[in-house]
Structures are given as structure tokens and as C-alpha cells.
Amino acid sequence: MLSYEILEELVRATPMSEYLIKEAWPNLSTESRLQIIQTILRKHGQLDMSGWLSVLALNDEAPIVRYWAARSTIFCDPERNDQGFFVHKLTEEDKQLYAMATIDSSELVRLCADKAISFETLSTATQFQRLVFLRGPEDCYLGLFFEWLDAAIDAGVPDGELSDCAREFLARPDVQEELTDKRDFVDGMADYLAGQDIKTAWRVAKKAGVRLQQHLAYVLPTRMGILTKIEPDELAQMPEGVLIALLSRWRWPGWSSDSQEIDALIALMHEHPKRFPKSVIKELNREDGMRIHRDLTTNEQMNARARQDVNRAQATLDTLIRLDEKVTALGDEKLTDLKEQIQTTQAQAANHKTLYVILIVALLLMLLRSFFR
């Protein structure tokens, strides 16, 4: 890996960077080449890969270096007319880049140049194509992703595959930033649209399979901006898998973002347990017990477990053994205190004897003096 000073010299946004990187490239390790690409992307934007760097990296021997460059290069298919507003007059270099990527030995690189994959075609794509597309550096569109999940469920895409897609997409740093309720919105419309995305996501969680349900319940916020809030009554109508996942979020509030709505949902479970499935209330009681235990001392936890133990005879025996140990320890402590008291008394008695002898000697001296006078 390159040191900070060397890296800064190479990626500085000046004309000399191209010459320096090309000169150093043959002698750099794979890790250092990835480091240069990633740093330039971070400095100039994920979709602003310099043409010369794309050419350099796409000719690299390491597939991972070629992929790192390809996923941030804007490829244009000369045969297609719908290139979008990014279109400029295609140069020979543009055509060569596209041709190189489409025949690359790595499927990762080839998929980066495949413009046929989009949210509209994702349900019919292979799972590997979906994951590559969702991992890509393109701007995240939460609404499009959740709408695709909704449609994919109806299209019969397996729950496990959709859960993996959600894990891949929702783990992206830019997506996680979009999911936070602490971000600032430019206007009320942006606030409203972000809230609609969250509502769509919770609607998907309600109809999804178990694995996708649980993952969405762990990561989705229950409010967004000042306009959107998923009310506790709405959460209470969620399927069993979602409710149990929300219980886990409540148990470990630091692991997921804190939610006033989830707290209110738990209070609703305590007040009206018959509204919820028995399995959910059973899990709630278990969570209550674990929360209580975390606030108890070691001895209090052991006693609480003994009261709940199915093998009551063994639990009783264990309790008696602990009681005997406490009594023995208490007896030893009392015996030690008694010994200390005896030693103190003996020392005091010895001091008294010495005082008596001194008094007697003093009296004798006084008698002798009066006799000789």
C-alpha cells in the first residue's frame, strides 16, 4: 500500500498526475492500483472516471483492478440510440473501451458494460447480475429499489434471493445515509418523497417472505423527516417475523437506531397481549426476563434462574449449597471478629496491670519520704 504522502502526490488533481501514475503503474502492487483508483473516484466522483485511467486499468492483468475501473466507467454502446443525456459524440476511445469490456474474461467486467440491466429488467436477471448491479456505484434510488422488491415478490423471485439483494443494496454507505432520519432535506417535497420511500419499504416488509421481512425490520427507520412516521398500530399489524425482529431491535437499542415507535409498540404488546400472536408474546416475555436479569446482581440472577428452572429439585439443591457457603463464610467472619475482640481486651488488661504497678510504686515512694521527715 502507498503511504499518504506518495498517494497524495500521485492523485493530485493536476495534469502531472496522469504522467506520474502511468510511470508508476507497472511497478505497483494490485492493492496500490486499487488504492489509486478508489482515491481518484472519491476525489472526483463515482461517475467521473478519467478516460486515460479507465484505459490503463482495463488493460491490467488483475481482474479485480479491471472491475474496479469498469464499474465506475460510463460505457456507451455504439449500437444503441437511447444513451440518455450523458451522450456526447462517441470517440474511438469510447468505442474501444466498450469493446474491451464486453469481451473481458471476467464476467464482473462484462456486466459493468451491460446497459440492458436495470430495475426494469432485474427480476428476470440472474442473481449474480442483480448483485453486481446493486453493488455498482450508481446513485442510489431507494424508491426504485423498494418498488422493484414489491414487483419481484409478485413475480415469484425466491425470498432468499431477494433477501440477499436487500443485504447487498442496503449495506451501501450512501444508502445507509439515505436511511437515516437525521439528514437535512432541501425542501418539503424532498422530505415527502423520502417518507414515501420508507412507507413503500414497510409495505414490502408486510408482504415479503420471512428472510426479507426480518432483514427489512432490522434496518428500516420508523420515521423520516417531519412528515412521515410509521405508527405503532401500523407496526402491530405486521407479520410475526417482523414483530419478532422488532423485539430484537428493542432488546439491543444501540445495535439498531432507537425508535420511539418501536418502544410504543412494545408497550402496546404489554397492555394488549391478546392482539398479538402467542409466539410473539412468548418472545416478549423472554426479552423482559433477559432485560431484568441484566439489571440484577450475580446472586439475584442465580436465584431468578432457580425460580424459573424446570428441574426444581436440582435448583433447590444448588440454592441450599450456596446458602451453606454463605453461612460458613458468615461464621468464619464472626469468629475472626471475636478473636480480634479478645486480643484487644487482653492488650487493654495488660495496660491496666502496668498502671496498677506504677501507682503502687508511687504510693510507696510517698510513704518513705514522709517517714524520713
How many angstroms separate the CA atoms of 113 and 108, rounded? 9
Cell 472526483 sits at which residue? 44
Neighbours of 25 (CB within 10 A): 18
Radius of gyration of the chain from Cα atoms? 38
The pLDDT value recorded for residue 132 is 93
In the chain, where the domains are located: 1-115, 117-230
Please indicate whether residue 9 or residue 139 has the higher confidence score (pLDDT). Answer: 9
The H or E element spanning position 136 is: none
Confidence class for position 92, pLDDT limits 50, 70, 90: confident
- pLDDT tens per residue across span 107-132: 999 998 887 888 999 999 999 999 99
Q: Percent of the chain, pLDDT > 70? A: 72
Segment 309-334, tens digit of pLDDT: 444 455 566 666 666 666 566 555 66
Q: Which residues of 105-123 are buried (b: 16+ CB within 10 A; e: fewer)?
A: eeebbbbbbbeebebeebb
DSSP 70-97: HTTS----TT-S--GGG--PPPHHHHHH
pLDDT score of 190 more than 90: no
The answer to whether the beta carbons of residues 229 and 258 sit under 8 Å apart is: no
| Spatial contact of 100 and 73, defined as CB atoms under 8 Å apart | no
Model confidence at 182, pLDDT cuts 50, 70, 90, reads: low
Which 8-state DSSP code applies to residue 121? T
CA dist 323 and 232 (Å) reads 46
- Give me the pLDDT at residue 258, please: 60
Cα separation, 139 vs 29, in Å, equals: 30
Alpha-carbon gap, residue 320 to 40, rounded angstroms = 69
The pLDDT, as a whole number, for residue 352 is 60
Going by the DSSP 8-state scheme, the letter that residue 140 receives in this structure is P
Q: If we measure between CA atoms, which residue out of 60, 70, 74, 69 comes closest to residue 30?
A: 60
Mean pLDDT, the chain, whole residue set: 81
Q: Which amino acid would we find at residue 323?
A: L
Binned at pLDDT 50, 70 and 90, residue 265 comes out as very high
Q: Are 216 and 223 in contact (CB under 8 A)?
A: no
